[in-house]
Structure 1
Amino acid sequence: MTESGNQPTLTAPGLNTTEKRDDDIMRRFVRRMRTVEWQRGRWYDPWEATMTASENVSCPAQVTKTPTVLAVDDEPEFLEFIVEALEENGISVICADSVEKAVRYLHARSDISLVITDLAMPERDGCQLLEYKQQNLRFADIPCLVCSGHSSHDWLGEVLGLGAVDYIVKPVSIETLLTRVRRAIERTTVSLLLVEPDRPVAALMERTFSHPRFHVFSARTGKAALDLFRQQQTSAVIAAHTLPDMSGLSLLDKIKEVDPGVPVLILVRKDANISRQQLIASGADEVISLPLCNLETVNQVLTLVRARQPRQKVPAPVRR
């Protein structure tokens, strides 16, 4: 990230056991902020107390289909509002009261579906978080919703230029927040059709795409895949090169007849008697080779889906 004033460049911090946190501890942290009180001649800091009490608690690398939102704001009351509004509606929330802590969570967690951030915060602001996220391929596809007290069009232009998908002006109602959060998550959900007859390979692929960003539906034959493709809105298709009733390339041709723009990736085994160049020349958008490199495979799909999506017009900031 570029420097802002005299502030140092934001870099990916190392993680230690103190800084790794599970969701239960974070929820308790937000609720405990209600009890901030004067103790021992200074303000009692629930965040500091939680850090000390949870020194040996590690952040689990959980992968769940429940959407997980990272909320970033230096106002405890607003973090509490987000937790109560979203978790009562089935959306998990991780809280960070600074950009530094938000960056740590981005590195520590693999299940974040959306970032909600304020703009004006001490030390580093929301624009710096957006810039950091945009410059790191691992996080660039995580959508970000800005929720701030600033209503200036100058701010709006800057945050949209840094990749924010939406902008809400505080104060905001529960209904508006929930609607915008769901819209942002749904807008970036990838519906993936997986066509693989081999059960262990299919299970491996499903685990690879088990992030809540992906909605995976599977078929084991070409005919079943075509039926699903016609019924389901599909962002991309991964098809095995060899299927019981047709070849993967035959399935590719049939899918392209229905929707010429949908990306189709062909899955091949290491000993396959066909090259990547031949598959691309036959119409495949990309080739995935076994054994998998999980991050590379996910990035291949996201890159193709992102290239297909038109640039969406972001609604103007609203006040509720």
Structure 2
Amino acid sequence: MNADTHALQETLAKAREEVAKVIIGQEHVFKMCLIAIFTRQHALIEGVPGLGKTLLVRTLAKVLGCDFSRIQFTPDLMPADITGTHMFNMSKNVFSLVRGPVFTTFCLADEINRAPAKTQSALLQAMQEREVSIDRKTYPLDKNFTVFATQNPIEFEGTYPLPEAQKDRFMLKIIMEPPLKEEELMLAKRMVEDHAPEKTLSEDSVKMVASPENLTELAKCLNDIVIKEELINYAVDIVRKTRSHKAVLVGSSPRGTQGLLLASRANAAMEDRDFVTPDDIKATAVPVLAHRLVLRPEFELEGLTVDEVIERILQDVTVPR
């Protein structure tokens, strides 16, 4: 293991330790969030209100020393409210750019499915190209620009389904479940004993373990995580199987293959290894692929879920020795 890879793994371990000071439980969720950050991709976090989705992302920004902005998506939100616009400066007699909240490092798109498709699409260029076009002029975003979009379950009132093109821009879809009884009990005791929930659950209680200057360099270390050719073929076979499975109407795009390989490398680093195993691919298959698949209606009526389809595909595809 070279020094750069060791530095990445050490930073990941410290980041997980700091986040755990604020977020009780949810280890899988912030592990997936770290994978999204260090692969320079984006994550969609789904869960009911009150689980700490916003607090988690804000804490990650603090721990990694990055700028943070939050956009509350509502039905009346306009694209210019996200990207920014030119406004007339009377003192200078010129139009000046007023930058929107998308000009940051970590952008939290809170309840993204409460805004219509026109507003949601304002993030597409930023997510794909890391740049924003305003009045026919293009402005670059931060190299580590990452979107964390939170989403309420679609059966809630007042929500709009995300377009397939936008869902495909998110490398991961992370399901945030309610805490276990022991975890919720710990949270309740912490609030009662300290009498200051805004203090005990604040991201100010954590320390910074990285900086924007070295975050990009650490992300490049993922290239040193070895992934053998037979494992690349394994990932490709899994994604291709999603396009031919009898229960799937629309399978994953090639972007899903790229995301699966990136995520498996990051997962190996999280597990203190400098090489990828089949277990890394299996561990990231559902978060990477589930939101990219559309099931046939007749199978949905039978109660089959996307997660179950992916698990069956993993069982059908031969694991390399």
For Structure 1 versus Structure 2, the TM-score category normalised by the shorter chain is: under 0.3
TM-score relative to the length of structure 1: 0.27
The structure that is helix-richer by fraction is 2
Relative contact order higher in (CA < 8 Å, ≥ 6 apart): 2
Instruction: Give the TM-score taking structure 2 as reference length.
Output: 0.27
Larger Rg computed on CA atoms: 1
